[in-house]
């Protein structure tokens, strides 16, 4: 270990020099406060920089301080987060803002780590960048670049490996803690990239990196096997009555607290598929996806998530002709369906879509159904209200094309 620490020490200065010359101009690198650093770090969890850029600016325009965020309602916060996915982060940030507004921003790693939604990685990043503390932040990027630098064949999904890398980094942290932390992230984001060949010609470590010197960059990092995603079939009904549409609020679990169109799990109703031509699946492409279970304090190992699977080799979906059908009625909870309600409405259109979360895929069959009466179990909202007031997850965005 001591040898590795000495080796790592030689990599610090070249990295800092490279970072000062090459860092990207990102909005969260200006006018920082501990609160804005926390906002950016939570937004960047599992989400691409490009997806965060504008949303970060808009979010801070709306909630410039922890006090402003703490004073907002949950629905306002979720709406401001719309499209970023992983909505548990928004709720946690809101809870953290209430603590910060009441008690001030914590000044220690333990205090930062205790904030809702903050795991080891985010605590390290916030402490380094916002507070200047030498606390390592080890995410998938850092695991990748260090495993290449060391040409280390250990499985980086093993928590012991993450811990060993964090200890090695802690031993070499320079006084410029924030810069060092960001330089590691930047190198992983723009030079020592995942998925494909790293850009070693542009790397400040190319005369040190053991994987590069051995021509084995792509042999690292070594990872464990991925588990297959669970497939969930979902029926989605966009119920239209006049110029209003039915919405319901999701309960606990995935996308908790978000607004959705009535839907339930299971195969498409036979009566509907008998009267409407089958349509090919369209891929719902979202800037971010939601994990299958909230992970408020144990962060995923990689900063970027898979957001969409390869597009299916099929024609774009076509609207089906209007057809009188019977569809499964919403249950008394307004969701997971039971029973049959003949002539619930007229199906105006139908399309299939897929949305990929980290651990789950939703294979959805959506129908636009015109109904004659408003079911009081739902909230009924106009297109404008859905656009401006209700936070609808990206998974359902494809069906918003029907909401006009």
Give the number of other Cβ atoms within 10 Å of residue 53's Cβ.
Answer: 14
Instruction: Kindly state whether residue 192 participates in binding ligand SF4, applying the rule CB under 6 A.
Output: yes
Give least dist CB 22 to ligand SF4, A: 13
Indicate whether 145 belongs to the interface with ligand SF4 (CB under 6 A).
Answer: yes
Which pairing describes strands 230-241 and 360-370: parallel, antiparallel, or unpaired? parallel
Task: Tell me the closest approach of the beta carbon of residue 111 to ligand SF4, in angstroms.
Answer: 33
Which residues on adjacent β-strands are paired with residue 382?
244
Helix (H, G, I), strand (E, B) or coil at 240: strand
State which residue, 218 or 265, has the beta carbon closest to ligand SF4: 218
Cα distances (Å, whole numbers) of residue 400 to 118, 238, 284, 390, 392: 33, 9, 12, 12, 9
- As a whole number of Å, the end-to-end CA separation of the chain is 62
Choose between 66 and 172: whose C-beta lies nearer to ligand SF4: 172
Give the range of 54-62, 113-121, 145-153, 165-173 binding ligand SF4 by CB under 6 A: 145-153
Of the candidates 115, 142, 203, 392, which one interacts with ligand SF4 according to CB under 6 A?
Answer: 203
CB of 210 to ligand SF4, least distance (A): 8
Q: Which is nearer to ligand SF4, 221 or 262 (CB)?
A: 221
Eight-state DSSP code of residue 211: H
For helices 177-190 and 140-150, the axis angle rounded to 10 degrees is 80
Q: Where are the beta strands (DSSP E) in 6-87?
A: none
Residue 46, Cβ density class (10 Å: 0-12 exposed, 13-18 middle, ≥19 buried): buried
Rounded to a whole number of angstroms, the minimum distance from the CB of residue 152 to ligand SF4 is 12
Closer to ligand SF4 by Cβ: residue 117 or 198? 198
Q: How far is the CB of 149 from ligand SF4 (least distance, A)?
A: 5
Which residue lies nearer to ligand SF4 by CB, 63 or 205? 205
Question: How many CB atoms are located within 10 Å of the residue 274 CB?
Answer: 11
Question: Pick from 148, 248, 351, 355: which binds ligand SF4 (CB under 6 A)?
Answer: 148
Q: Which of residues 149-188 bind ligand SF4 (CB under 6 A)?
A: 149
Q: Contact at 8 Å (CB) between 34 and 126?
A: yes
Q: Which of 90, 143, 209, 320 binds ligand SF4 (CB under 6 A)?
A: 209
- Considering only 211, 254, 305, 307, the residue that binds ligand SF4 (CB under 6 A) is 211
Q: Does the footprint of ligand SF4 cover residue 205 (CB under 6 A)? A: yes
For residue 161, the minimal CB distance to ligand SF4 (Å) is: 17
In whole angstroms, what is the distance from residue 330 CA to residue 294 CA?
26
Between residues 126 and 189, which has the closer beta carbon with respect to ligand SF4? 189
CA 343 to mean position of chain CA atoms: 39
393 and 255 Cβ atoms separated by less than 8 Å: yes
Identify whether 41 is a catalytic site residue. yes
Q: Which residues contact 43 (CB under 8 A, 6 or more apart)?
A: 52, 55, 56, 59, 84, 89
142 binds ligand SF4 (CB under 6 A): no
- Hunting for tokens 């507070």 — which residue is that? 131
- For the residues of 158-175, what is the DSSP string, one character each? SHHHHHHHHHHHHHH--S
* Count of chain residues binding ligand SF4 (CB under 6 A): 15
Set 13, 21, 41, 299: catalytic member: 41
Q: Is 212 in the site for ligand SF4 (CB under 6 A)?
A: yes
Q: Which of 154, 206, 275, 297 is close enough to bind ligand SF4 by CB under 6 A?
A: 206
Compare residues 206 and 297 and give the one whose CB is closer to ligand SF4: 206
Residues 215 to 244: which contact ligand SF4 by CB under 6 A?
217
With contacts defined by CB under 6 A, name the span among 25-33, 206-214, 265-273, 366-374 that binds ligand SF4: 206-214
- Among positive and negative, which fits the CA dihedral 61, 101, 127, 160? negative
Active site residues: 41
- Interface residue list for ligand SF4 (CB under 6 A): 145, 148-149, 191-192, 198-200, 203, 205-206, 209, 211-212, 217
């Amino acid at each position: 270990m001591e040898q590795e620490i000495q080796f790592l020490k030689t990599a610090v200065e070249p990295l800092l020099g490279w970072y000062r010359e090459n860092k990207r101009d990102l909005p969260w690198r200006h006018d920082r406060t501990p609160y804005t650093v926390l906002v950016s770090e939570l937004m960047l969890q599992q989400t691409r920089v490009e997806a965060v850029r504008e949303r970060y600016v808009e979010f801070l325009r709306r909630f410039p301080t922890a006090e402003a965020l703490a004073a907002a309602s949950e629905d306002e916060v979720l709406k401001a987060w719309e499209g970023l996915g992983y909505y548990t982060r928004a709720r946690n940030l809101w809870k953290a803002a209430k603590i910060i507004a009441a008690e001030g921003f914590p000044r220690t790693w333990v205090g930062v780590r205790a904030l809702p939604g903050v795991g080891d990685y985010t605590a390290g990043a916030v402490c380094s960048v916002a507070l200047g503390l030498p606390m390592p932040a080890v995410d998938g990027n850092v695991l990748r670049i260090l495993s290449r630098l060391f040409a280390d064949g250990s499985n980086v999904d093993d928590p012991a490996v993450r811990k060993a890398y964090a200890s090695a980094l802690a031993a070499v942290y320079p006084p410029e803690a924030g810069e060092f932390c960001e330089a590691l992230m930047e190198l992983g984001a723009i030079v020592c990239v995942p998925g494909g060949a790293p850009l070693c010609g542009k790397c400040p470590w190319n005369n040190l990196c053991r994987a590069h010197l051995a021509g084995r960059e792509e042999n690292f990092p070594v990872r464990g096997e991925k588990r297959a995603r669970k497939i969930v079939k979902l029926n989605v009904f966009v119920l239209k009555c006049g110029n209003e549409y039915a919405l319901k609020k999701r309960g606990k679990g995935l996308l908790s607290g978000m607004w959705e169109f009535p839907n339930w799990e299971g195969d498409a109703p036979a009566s509907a598929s008998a009267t409407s031509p089958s349509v090919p699946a369209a891929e719902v492409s979202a800037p971010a996806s939601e994990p299958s279970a909230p992970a408020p304090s144990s962060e995923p190992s990689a900063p970027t998530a898979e957001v969409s699977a390869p597009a299916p080799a099929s024609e774009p979906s076509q609207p089906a002709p209007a057809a009188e059908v019977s569809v499964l009625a919403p249950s008394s909870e307004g969701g997971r369906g039971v029973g049959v309600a003949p002539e619930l409405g007229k199906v105006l259109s139908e399309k299939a879509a897929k949305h990929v979360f980290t651990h789950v895929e939703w294979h959805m069959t959506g129908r636009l159904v015109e109904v004659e009466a408003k079911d009081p179990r739902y909230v009924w909202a106009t297109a404008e209200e859905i656009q401006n007031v209700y936070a609808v997850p990206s998974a359902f965005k494809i069906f918003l094309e029907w909401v006009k």
